[in-house]
Amino acid sequence: MKGHGAKFARKQEEAIGALLSQRNIDEAAKAVGIAPNTLMKWMKDPGFQNAYRDARRQAFGQCVARLQQAASAATTTLLRILVDPNAPASVRARVADSIIGHATKAIEVEDIQERLTALESAAEAPGQKH
């Protein structure tokens, strides 16, 4: 029976991979070699839901990392357009607004991070009144 459980877990892992790479549930089930109803049943299981959620977060994290890697090139592009006298004024204005918006958001995120760190430190400090 132990071997059967390992095969079952492996199938579920394959199903999670298929859900991440296929266009819909039917195609994911077909790719794994199971019935769509079986996959739908698995998707209602809390353990499967947690594993699927974790896999989606990991996949999304990889996407975010790729975007972060491209941020330098994107910034260079925005700055080139901003100072290009041949670029239409409306485009330069949109680029300027975008840069200011992103810079503002970055400052806000830094401020929130600093406040959160201070709150966590205060909560962890022994003997402190809250």
Q: pLDDT tens digits for 66-109?
A: 999 999 999 999 999 999 999 999 999 999 999 999 999 999 99
130 occurs within a structural domain: no
Domain count, the chain: 2
Claim to verify: residue 48 and residue 104 sit in the same structural domain:
no
Long-range contacts of 86-89 (CB under 8 A, 24+ apart): none
Claim to verify: residue 6 and residue 50 sit in the same structural domain:
yes
34 occurs within a structural domain: yes
Claim to verify: residue 29 and residue 56 sit in the same structural domain:
yes
The model's pTM is 0.62
Claim to verify: residue 4 and residue 34 sit in the same structural domain:
yes
Claim to verify: residue 91 and residue 32 sit in the same structural domain:
no
Claim to verify: residue 11 and residue 49 sit in the same structural domain:
yes
By the 8 A CB rule, do 99 and 78 touch? yes
Integer Cα distance of 12 and 30 in angstroms:
13
103-130 pLDDT, tens digit each:
999 999 999 999 999 999 999 987 665 5
Structural domain of 120: 84-125
Q: Exposed, middle or buried by CB within 10 Å (0-12, 13-18, 19+), for 32? A: buried
Claim to verify: residue 33 and residue 61 sit in the same structural domain:
yes
pLDDT at 5 over 80: no
Q: State both tokens at 29.
A: 């089930």
Which H helix or E strand runs over 125? none
